[in-house]
Amino acid sequence: MRPKPDEFAPDYQVYVDRVEGDDVRAVLAAQPAQVEELLGNLTPQQAGHRYGSGKWSLEEVLGHVIDVEWVFHNRVLRIGRGDTTPLPGVDQDVLMEGARFEGALPSLLAELRSLREASGLMLARMTEEDLDRRGTASGMPFSARALCFIIAGHAGHHLEVIRERYL
């Protein structure tokens, strides 16, 4: 089931809209293979490519996607299990400043696969009631379900950026 507009902040609609269909678990499970197909055979020089001055490299884009997923999957877990503690925001630029993504493409691809496999196992145990639960993150309301769609849509957004601007 797709999330309703009151399950997430309006700024995230763009990510929810990127997800086709209602089966977000299937979309999440399929994306690592799509990323692997797109980036798996790149040379280190290609993985370090930036399409413009001040833009992230391909490795940094993938690292950003993974960093955001760690945060958002934690939110899915906590909200889905009924934790109503307001969850803090995250600054993607601060995360990027502390990152070590250069030359890390193979390990980033493995990390994405592992993260999605683990989150898939977690989501397999969540019921519709769990996914309906709501909480607050970054001062905004979210359902666990909406967060799953946002994760998939965020990754889809960056895959499109990679296709259009990097490859």
Q: Which domains does the chain have, with CATH numbers?
A: 7-166 (1.20.120.450)
For 109-153, write each residue's pLDDT tens digit: 999 999 999 999 999 999 999 999 999 999 999 999 999 999 999
CB 131 within 8 A of CB 99: no
Alpha-carbon span 92 to 70, nearest angstrom: 12
* Locus of tokens 């290609």: 46
Alpha-carbon span 11 to 31, nearest angstrom: 23
The strand pairing partners of 110, in sequence order, are: none
For 11-69, write each residue's pLDDT tens digit: 999 999 999 999 999 999 999 999 999 999 999 999 999 999 999 999 999 999 999 99
Hey, what amino acid is at 160?
E
What's the pTM value of the predicted model, to 2 decimals?
Answer: 0.96
If we measure between CA atoms, which residue out of 112, 162, 152 comes closest to residue 24? 152
